[in-house]
Amino acid sequence: MAIEVAAPAKLNLALHVTGQRADGYHLLDSLVVFADIGDRVSVAPAGALTLAITGPEAAGLGAGEDNLVLRAARAFAAARGARITLEKNLPVASGIGGGSADAAATLTALARLWDLPLPGDAAVLTLGADVPVCLAGRPARMSGIGEALAPVPPLPEGLAVVLVNPRVTVATPAVFRALARKDNPALEAMPERFADAEDLAGWLLRQRNDLQAAAIGMAPVIAAVLDRIAATGPLLTRMSGSGATSFGLYGTLASAAAAAADLASAHPGWWVRAAQVLSAPRG
């Protein structure tokens, strides 16, 4: 019997780069949440390890040995087989954790299929800085090089987003190299609770995505996307991760859906989705 696990889109509501270690890894401080859209991973018993990719974004991703799904499977070092299918719904290399979420979902699914414990923290982190938080699957403050996860105040009810990708790719390593400064201040202290979506947005407006300016320098269309989202009246507009996906934050899904309809109509070449922000892991 196949086991299916969701791989929800990851959003960096704020992302500060606070330093760089001697080994080259960047130190981060980020508020991470997840949306109720994303990819899906299914696994089934098989004699060998194989990967098939389906879905509307499948053409942008190869199923070779360097695919994060296969790398995640090999992290078990279990010498077991499985037939893995990745339903790819998120744009590839778009700053919303698609690859990392896929790897995390693969780890979860194979642990159930093979009845094995998850690989250790060090092995998980080698798959990518976002994989530990995607494996946890709940809102968190992510720091260090991605290994330190701390709980955050409950998110306001009904929080929603519009995600917009202009169909351009920016390479994460190149964005980090283009940073003018790598020793930026950390996030401000979070309150014990956010009264509502406006309260959360007010706090977020005092934070940043330190990668945004560098990404815009490489792909100026990101600035146009941000301006276009802002025109729909969100509480906050920002780029996620290293781009090129940007988001608008709204107090209700109805508001986000209306904005998405407007954006998709005006820019049919862009990838546009409205989504609810998840307050707990999605199965």
Predicted local confidence at residue 211, as pLDDT: 97
> Which bin fits 251, alpha (ψ -120 to 50), beta or left (φ > 0)?
alpha
130 classed as catalytic: yes
- The residue from 36, 130, 196, 210 that is catalytic is 130
Predicted local confidence at residue 97, as pLDDT: 84
CA atoms 117, 129, 142, 250: torsion sign:
negative
Concatenate the DSSP letters of all residues of 93-133 into one string. Answer: TSSS-HHHHHHHHHHHHHHHHHT-PPPPHHHHHTT-TTHHH
Q: Which of 209, 207, 259, 210 is nearest to 232 (CA)?
A: 259
Query: Hey, which CATH number is domain 153-278, 3.40.605.10, 3.30.70.890, 3.40.50.720, 3.60.21.10?
Result: 3.30.70.890
CA atoms 97, 166, 36, 149: torsion sign:
positive
Predicted local confidence at residue 281, as pLDDT: 65
Q: What Rg do the C-alpha atoms of the chain give, in angstroms?
A: 18
Q: Quick check: pTM over 0.85? A: yes
- Where do the domains of the chain lie? 3-148, 153-278
Taking the chain (283 residues) in runs of 10, the rounded mean pLDDT of each run is: 95 98 95 97 97 94 91 94 97 90 98 97 94 96 97 95 96 94 96 96 98 97 98 98 97 98 98 93 58
DSSP helix/strand/coil, 228 = helix
Predicted local confidence at residue 282, as pLDDT: 57
- The residue from 10, 29, 88, 210 that is catalytic is 10
Q: What is the CATH number of domain 3-148?
A: 3.30.230.10
Predicted local confidence at residue 249, as pLDDT: 98
Q: In angstroms, rounded to a whole number, what is the distance separating the alpha carbons of residues 213 and 18?
A: 16
**Same fold for the pair 3-148 and 153-278:** no
